[in-house]
Structure 1
Amino acid sequence: MLNPLPQTSVADVSVFSSPARVQEQVLSLYGALKNGNFYGGRYVIDGDIKADNFINELSNLVTSADVWNENPTNSATAIVGLWQYAYLTINTCNLFIDGMDSLGAKVVGQSLTTSYIAEAKLIRALSYYALLQYYAYPYTKDNGAGKGVPIRLTGIKSAGQSPKARSSVADVYAQIIKDLNDAEAGLPASYSSATNNTTRAHTNTAIALKTRVFLSMGKYDSVIAAANRIVSVSAPFKAPTGVANTLQSDITKVFAAPYTTTESIFSLPMSSTSGDNPGTQNQLAYYWSPTSKLGGVGNGEYSLNAPTGVISDSGWKPATDKRRSYILTSTQTSTSGVVTTKRWLTKFSAPSPYTDFVPVIRYSEVLLSLAEAITRNTSSVDPRAVALLSAVRNRSDATISYTTASFATPDALIAAILQERNIEFLGEGLRNNDLMRTLSTIPKKAAPPQKASTTSAISGQFRRPS
């Protein structure tokens, strides 16, 4: 009576005591990943506001105005928070793997132990990949010779274990690939429900993420080898094994409830339950969507960069491309009669508490990564690469179907693929990653000047926190 058992927590010696508790531990790994300070919000948001497609409206440091201005310090909330929650996720995975290695087979059997550890390794790999995109130079700058981030593969349970040297970018990527290879070998081919096929890792999830990682490394042969395992030779493109991942005919279904189409290879689910959504000032719709007064559901933190961002691309046809339906135009007239027009992204449209699923990787990304890798690898206007690009554009804009005659040179095809990625993944956090891996200048967007991706530790990247 004087020493009651806690009702809201479980001692670490007991968390692996039953199959139910082990499964809860697995699900908690996804919970750590989808925290609003990490992949459920800030990581994705920063990937777009660091780049050139959005204009900061409120100059609020809490909502990353310093990131947009490209002048955050190493003690800034955005810098410290992302670092903290990424390593919290990694440590959660490490603790789980340690526990399963010692107790898993006794509690849930060897088959589930292997599968569960594979899920943990995939989440750990994704977390390390995320860290590299903000706290290290691109692999393509010097084949990964620069400093990366500290690699931790065992769980921390007590104080005094934090100091650790940074590994090289190459070594961190090597660990990411190892984790994804292990994950692919141990994950199930599919689950029994569309929800689990979208929100829990399966074999195709690991393969798809490898295409992203290899593309960031400039290893185009490896991108092609991985992508070919989940992309058919010709259209209509579809994964031949495991979950039948494929493009949806209507892009708007991908970002609407129940968010579980076969295009969504991996997404992070959100609900209205307290603690099961990104939380205050971390949500995608909160940042991208205007206020209700202007027809949105958010806080109007960032409008679209109409003068020079992708929204200004005349080839992205407003009248025929369904992705343009996510663009909301607002007009306001001041007391002096000045009319201000702004454009906003409404791809994420669930109102507070903002329960849109957060996309991690979609099938369209795999197709475009494969198209780019083929083009760079062959230095040609390859018919299959063109067909892959055309599939993504044509499903949203039926008036456009590309052929090899559409591109005079391989460089023209690569430019079209990169621009298609810019359009397709607007607001999904991939823009910074693409600019960094291609060693491109981060374009000027308003007050912040343009910056090269390789000139200093802060140009295009975050400093490691103090």
Structure 2
Amino acid sequence: MKKKINYSVFFCLALLGLSACDRSLLTPIPQTSVSDASAFSTPTRVQTQLLSLYGALKDGNFYGGRYVIYGDIRGEDFINETSNLVTGSDVWGLNATNSATAVVNLWYFAYLTINKCNVFLDGMAAGGTTVVGAEAAAKYIAEAKLIRGLSYYSLLQYYARPYIDGNGSKPGLPLRLSGIKGVGQSNLARSTVAEVYTQVLKDLNEAEADLPLKYTTDTDNTTRAHKNTAIALKTRVYLSMQNYAAVITEANKMVSASAPFSAPTGVANALQADITTVFTAPNFTTTESIFSMPMTTTSGDFPGTQNQLAFYYSPNTANGGVGNGEYSLNPKGIIADTSWGASDKRRAFIKQSGTGANAKSWLVKYKEKSPYTDYVPVIRYSEVLLNLAEAKVRSTNTVDAQAVALLNAVRRRSDATKTYTTASFASSADLANAILLERRIEFLGEGLRNNDLVRLLQTIPAKGTVPAKAPSEPNYIWPISASELALNNLATDN
């Protein structure tokens, strides 16, 4: 029986916990069962600190739920059903304020994760490396850097202008790179977008160098960082920067030159034959899932109240679902696109309820009932393939044959009736648009829509009662958290 990581066990010994005072939003005070001096005193305690970083990343207020949810409901493919501010109606309405639950909490939990990483890295430098030995230390440090890099990248997607707007010159984030263990360390000006991206890539490059090629279990290969995790995330980061040559360089490390595409080294990442398998328990740890946030029924080891993906997207039990029906699918959104064929297996993720004027469509990609133990996808192999396809098209401005093959790999996996050829596209722009359309279908409910719109400086389309939002308008990106502005005298708002 494969051993699963129960992050909640390690959370209880995490070096930094939540503090009740407001200042803890920026400077959380340690709340631990071991002293700061002894937290890195044994190999077991060092590993405990490391695994608590994954626990922080997968918190329901961060990558265990809400970060992913916000990425979709900001786009045009969902309709808000409850007008509940707690579950992001203002995020959906593109009018979230500095003090909005989403704006404040995502900032807080992302920076809490970053601070845990910084404290861990400081602890390793101060003696942890000696305790566990150089080989283990290098791997642990690499995991911490990957988590920190992913956290900073994630914050950029909501709180900073896209890289293409000013070539990274606009205000980014306060770039905190050392651990905060007490009050009085809040003041720090925002680095530029380019400076934050530079740090993200530094973390990911250094992580790639020292991460293991793979682990001994499928679970660890999905829920802990390995070399292909860092490479895959770099393709996403470089795509956001529109550095298409770098996307190609990175993707070529883990995508074979021709179909069937797979990773030639490390974990044998590849598409699964059936997309529905990837989202059905107990198959959350296939080689397609490069990095996911694991959930179990153990108390504290699932997303928590009103954070869960199935809670948001699945209809209630009366309508045949397991959730609360917070967001239905926009009938004028991607599900209405006629190029998405009825025989496509991804249509199985759509459930109908009601008839006539009461008819609604729901996303049932996430199926596990309360306490909602679906693994939350961070990045899948299909994204790497489409990242590479888009980069090939945009870098060459041609109807690139390999890009078409990569697009076919993703589409035909779910719809064998559809085959693209280079003749299917009159221009490179047509092919690029087809790839973007495929991304909307493939990653529906996986949090990528906001990133795709913003990285290309595209207008966020209208939906329901919400008008379109142009890149020049307020709330195209979020304001800075009110808590940061209150405690950091050097911070400026968007």
Aligned partner letter, 1:446: G
Quickly say closer, same or farther: Cα 1:85–1:8, change in 2 above 3 A.
closer
Deviations 1:46-89 (A, max 9, x none): 00011100000000011011111111110111100000000000
Separation in 1, partners of 2:131, 2:449: 43
Aligned partner letter, 1:174: T
1:386 and 2:411 matched: no
Question: What is the match of residue 3 of structure 1?
Answer: none
Question: What is the match of residue 288 of structure 1?
Answer: 313
1:420 and 2:438 matched: yes
Partner secondary structure for residue 129 of structure 2:
helix
Partner secondary structure for residue 76 of structure 2:
coil
Aligned partner letter, 1:48: D
Separation in 2, partners of 1:326, 1:148: 36
Tell me if the contact between 2:255 and 2:264 (Cα under 8 Å) persists in the aligned partners: yes
Tell me if the contact between 2:121 and 2:144 (Cα under 8 Å) persists in the aligned partners: yes
Question: What is the match of residue 253 of structure 2?
Answer: 229
1:401 and 2:426 matched: no
1:357 and 2:379 matched: no
1:33-432 to 2 correspondences below 5 Å: 33-258=57-282, 259-307=284-332, 309-318=333-342, 320-331=343-354, 339-432=357-450
1:22 aligned to which of 29, 43, 46: 46
Deviations 1:120-170 (A, max 9, x none): 000000000010000000001111010001001000000111121000000
Partner secondary structure for residue 351 of structure 2:
strand
Tell me if the contact between 1:234 and 1:384 (Cα under 8 Å) persists in the aligned partners: yes
Aligned partner letter, 2:349: Y
Quickly say closer, same or farther: Cα 1:226–1:8, change in 2 above 3 A.
closer
Separation in 1, partners of 2:357, 2:160: 43
1:437 and 2:460 matched: no
Tell me if the contact between 2:96 and 2:475 (Cα under 8 Å) persists in the aligned partners: no
Deviating runs (4+, > 3 A) in structure 1?
A: none
Deviations 1:209-236 (A, max 9, x none): 0000000000000000000000000000
Separation in 2, partners of 1:267, 1:93: 18
Deviations 1:310-342 (A, max 9, x none): 111111012x1000000000006xxxxx74100
Tell me if the contact between 1:104 and 1:110 (Cα under 8 Å) persists in the aligned partners: no
Aligned partner letter, 1:103: G
- C-alpha RMSD over aligned residues: 1.1
1:465 and 2:481 matched: yes
Aligned partner letter, 1:447: T
Quickly say closer, same or farther: Cα 1:137–1:288, change in 2 above 3 A.
same
Separation in 1, partners of 2:309, 2:376: 8
Partner secondary structure for residue 190 of structure 2:
coil
TM-score, normalised to structure 1's length? Answer: 0.96
Question: What is the match of residue 22 of structure 2?
Answer: none
Partner secondary structure for residue 142 of structure 1:
coil
How many residues align structurally?
451
Separation in 1, partners of 2:328, 2:129: 51
Tell me if the contact between 2:244 and 2:391 (Cα under 8 Å) persists in the aligned partners: yes
Larger CA deviation: 8-17 vs 387-396: 8-17
Aligned partner letter, 1:324: R
Identity %: 65
Separation in 2, partners of 1:344, 1:238: 32
Deviations 1:401-421 (A, max 9, x none): 111111111010000000000
Tell me if the contact between 2:41 and 2:128 (Cα under 8 Å) persists in the aligned partners: no
Shift, 1:460, TM fit: 2.0
Separation in 2, partners of 1:26, 1:348: 28
Unpaired segments ≥5 residues, structure 2? 1-30, 483-494
Separation in 1, partners of 2:53, 2:352: 39
Partner secondary structure for residue 80 of structure 1:
helix
Separation in 2, partners of 1:15, 1:286: 37
Quickly say closer, same or farther: Cα 1:73–1:359, change in 2 above 3 A.
same
Tell me if the contact between 2:314 and 2:324 (Cα under 8 Å) persists in the aligned partners: yes
Shift, 1:104, TM fit: 2.0
Shift, 1:459, TM fit: 3.0
Tell me if the contact between 1:452 and 1:459 (Cα under 8 Å) persists in the aligned partners: no
Partner secondary structure for residue 328 of structure 1:
strand
Separation in 2, partners of 1:344, 1:216: 29
Question: What is the match of residue 4 of structure 1?
Answer: none
TM-score, normalised to structure 2's length? Answer: 0.90
Partner secondary structure for residue 139 of structure 1:
coil
